[in-house]
């Protein structure tokens, strides 16, 4: 996130959305401040800046509206806020320290000029602005301290979470970060909660549930960037360009003819899989080593791989850095759509989507909203029992022992069987063999083995539930 300060006497603030501020070239004397707005929730910081600097009387919004944050800003000025401080027509929420009176003062005194798609006309538009006095005395609104409980667990790396749908999986990843995340600084001048290496397995796409911080039009707009290969419009990168038009560069003589030629990594992966379904070489990368290692805004998604297993296309995506509140669910829908397109092209069904998030984090400005969503939609739930993909167990009593046999989900017996007089010694052997993948299955197994042990001691009949 970048902010450029310039002429403190200017009435003009320039909001460049996802476009880097330096890409919007203006003489420095013509604006007071120029900066990004990546998320609608960032509007709270913009309002604080304006209240503290009432000389600002015009906001020019321009640049690439990648996540709809520009629409959120337009909605604020055209329609205002609801009783709960949410922006009308938006999922963005202002914190409670920004009162309705403060918001009204800004809306009444500051004019918003929408220049998205008209970036070449900004300087001429600013020149026509009337010079205005400050709309009041400076008002300093303290940042609302976002609070979230944390277990502050140390030396933990790796959380495997599974969701039937993207929306369900998102609740689990947000809960995990808010519950176990370390409070630490970030490179975006805002605190974060972070856990390392969340591996999320998604079985099906599902609906865009009400608890997600966006709606269907937002997702469809995001698809334009994720799948599009058009001009970057000031963005340091787009996944569409990196995946479908990866730039081939090289300094050696033999590569000079190919410099800046593009390579469609998705098409290449499909061709690999079509020719050799058992290939391990269907992969795509977004990282340009030299360019991105020194960039202030390198890609978060770095790698996607595809494998065909039992006639289904499985997709795994790796993110070096992942905003689990705003970015993760949007990324998941786009990745699932990519998987769907490739599956249809190959004539196979979709398997699981797996997303590996190395730095899984939530920023401080989302703590309150994340906590409220988890409390309303997740904490009150009970984990439903689902079939363990690794199989199940039959438990019997015979010859003075507990007898346990392992079967696959299709009821085929395996060579794994266990026997003993104590529930504890049996479930420890089962866990050692790695035959249980779901915590609710492990809990059920412990309960049933305990019942079997009690029946063995008392001489009563045991029937597995």
Q: Higher-confidence residue: 382 or 366?
A: 366
- One domain for residues 281 and 368: yes
- One domain for residues 340 and 454: no
**DSSP for 212-265?**
SSS-HHHHHHHHHHHH--S--TT-S--HHHHHHSEEE---SGGGGGGTTEEE-H
pLDDT for the residue numbered 251 = 45
- One domain for residues 324 and 402: no
- One domain for residues 311 and 416: no
Q: Is there a domain that residue 371 lies in?
A: yes
Q: Are the C-beta atoms of residues 89 and 81 closer than 8 Å to each other?
A: no
Q: What percent of the chain has pLDDT over 70?
A: 93
The backbone region for 391, taken as left when phi is positive above 0, alpha when psi lies in -120 to 50, beta otherwise, is left
Q: Phi then psi for 355, rounded to 5 degrees?
A: -120, 120
- One domain for residues 213 and 345: yes
Residue 384 pLDDT level (bands cut at 50, 70, 90)? confident
Last residue of a domain, one of 328, 346, 377: 377
- One domain for residues 307 and 193: yes
- One domain for residues 360 and 407: no
Mean pLDDT of 381-400: 88
Q: Is there a domain that residue 148 lies in?
A: no
Q: Is there a domain that residue 196 lies in?
A: yes
* Torsion angle defined by CA atoms of residues 133, 138, 141 and 142, in that order, rounded to the nearest 10 degrees: 140
Mean pLDDT of 121-148: 87
Q: Is there a domain that residue 233 lies in?
A: no
Strands 413-420 and 58-61: unpaired
When divided into structural domains, the chain yields a total of 3
Instruction: Provide the whole-model pTM.
Output: 0.75
Mean pLDDT of 301-315: 97
pLDDT for the residue numbered 39 = 80
pLDDT at residue 216 tops 70: yes
- One domain for residues 59 and 122: yes
pLDDT at residue 158 tops 50: yes
Please write down the long-range contacts of 181-189, taking CB distance under 8 Å and 24 or more positions apart. 181/150, 181/360, 181/361, 181/362, 182/150, 182/152, 183/150, 183/152, 186/361, 186/363, 188/1, 188/363, 189/1
Q: Is there a domain that residue 465 lies in?
A: no
pLDDT for the residue numbered 236 = 61
pLDDT at residue 352 tops 80: yes
pLDDT for the residue numbered 305 = 98
Active site residues: 300
User: Which two structure tokens, joined as six digits, stand for 412?
Assistant: 């085929």
Q: What is the pLDDT of residues 244-294, one digit of tens each?
A: 888 766 544 455 455 557 789 999 999 999 999 999 999 999 998 888 888
- One domain for residues 185 and 285: yes
Q: Which residue segment(s) compose the domain that 398 sits in?
A: 392-458
pLDDT for the residue numbered 432 = 95
- One domain for residues 209 and 298: yes
Instruction: Give the three-class secondary structure for 433.
Output: coil
Q: What is the pLDDT of residues 179-212, one digit of tens each?
A: 999 998 888 767 899 999 999 999 999 999 989 9
Q: Are the C-beta atoms of residues 75 and 87 closer than 8 Å to each other?
A: yes
pLDDT for the residue numbered 42 = 85
The alpha-carbon radius of gyration of the chain (Å, integer) is 27
Q: Are the C-beta atoms of residues 1 and 38 closer than 8 Å to each other?
A: yes
Q: For residue 463, what is the enclosing H or E element?
A: none
Chain mean pLDDT for the chain: 90
Mean pLDDT of 110-119: 94
Residue 152 pLDDT level (bands cut at 50, 70, 90)? low
Q: What percent of the chain has pLDDT over 90?
A: 69
CA separation for the pair 240, 34 (Å, rounded): 27
Q: Is there a domain that residue 296 lies in?
A: yes
Nearest to 227 by CA among 70, 340, 312, 328: 340
pLDDT for the residue numbered 145 = 62
Q: Phi then psi for 453, rounded to 5 degrees?
A: -65, -40
pLDDT for the residue numbered 365 = 80
Residue 366 pLDDT level (bands cut at 50, 70, 90)? confident
pLDDT at residue 237 tops 90: no
Q: How far apart, in Å, are the Cα atoms of 434 and each of 163, 184, 200, 390, 442?
A: 21, 35, 19, 9, 11
Q: What is the pLDDT of residues 25-66, one digit of tens each?
A: 999 999 999 998 888 878 988 999 999 999 999 999 999 887
The conformation of residue 28, written as its DSSP 8-state character, comes to: G
Q: Phi then psi for 454, rounded to 5 degrees?
A: -65, -40
pLDDT for the residue numbered 150 = 57
Q: Are the C-beta atoms of residues 19 and 63 closer than 8 Å to each other?
A: yes
Nearest to 11 by CA among 93, 179, 131, 146: 131
Q: Is there a domain that residue 244 lies in?
A: no
């Amino acid at each position: 996130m970048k902010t450029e300060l310039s002429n403190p006497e200017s009435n003009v603030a320039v909001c460049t959305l996802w476009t880097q501020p330096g890409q919007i070239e203006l003489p420095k004397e013509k604006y007071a401040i120029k900066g990004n707005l990546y998320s609608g929730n960032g509007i709270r910081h913009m309002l604080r800046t304006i209240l503290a600097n009432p000389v600002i009387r015009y906001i020019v919004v321009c640049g690439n509206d990648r996540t709809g944050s520009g629409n959120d800003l337009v909605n604020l000025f055209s329609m205002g806020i609801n009783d709960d401080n949410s922006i009308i027509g938006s999922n963005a929420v202002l914190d409670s320290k920004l009162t309705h009176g403060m918001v009204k003062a800004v809306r009444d005194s500051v004019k918003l000029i929408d220049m998205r798609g008209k970036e070449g006309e900004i300087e001429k538009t600013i020149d026509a602005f009337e010079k205005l006095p400050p709309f009041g005395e400076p008002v300093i609104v303290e940042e609302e301290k976002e609070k979230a409980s944390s277990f502050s667990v140390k030396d933990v790396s790796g959380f495997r979470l599974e969701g039937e749908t993207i929306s369900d999986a998102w609740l689990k990843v947000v809960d995990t970060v808010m519950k176990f995340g370390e409070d630490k600084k970030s490179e975006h001048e805002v605190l974060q909660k972070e856990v390392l290496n969340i591996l999320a397995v998604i079985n099906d796409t599902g609906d865009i549930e009400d608890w997600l911080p966006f709606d269907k039009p937002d997702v469809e707009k995001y698809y334009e960037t994720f799948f599009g290969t058009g001009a970057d419009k000031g963005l340091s990168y787009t996944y569409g360009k990196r995946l479908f038009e990866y730039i081939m560069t090289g300094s050696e003589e033999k590569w000079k003819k190919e410099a800046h030629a593009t390579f469609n990594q998705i098409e290449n992966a499909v061709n690999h899989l079509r020719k050799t379904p058992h290939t391990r070489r269907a992969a795509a990368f977004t990282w340009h080593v030299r360019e991105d290692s020194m960039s202030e805004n390198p890609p978060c998604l770095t790698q996607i791989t595809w494998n065909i297993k039992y006639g289904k296309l499985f997709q795994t995506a790796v993110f070096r850095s992942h905003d689990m509140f705003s970015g993760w669910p949007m990324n998941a829908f786009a990745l699932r759509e990519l998987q769907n397109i490739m599956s249809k092209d190959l004539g196979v069904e979709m398997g699981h989507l797996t997303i590996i998030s190395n730095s899984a984090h939530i920023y401080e400005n989302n703590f309150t909203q994340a906590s409220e969503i988890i409390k309303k939609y997740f904490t009150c739930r009970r984990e439903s029992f689902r079939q363990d993909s690794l199989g199940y167990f039959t438990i019997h009593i015979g010859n003075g022992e507990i007898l346990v046999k392992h079967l696959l989900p299709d009821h085929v017996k395996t060579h794994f069987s266990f026997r003993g007089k104590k529930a504890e010694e049996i479930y420890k052997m089962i866990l050692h063999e790695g035959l249980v993948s779901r915590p609710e299955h492990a809990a059920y197994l412990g309960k049933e083995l305990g019942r079997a042990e009690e029946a063995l001691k008392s001489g009563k009949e045991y029937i597995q539930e």
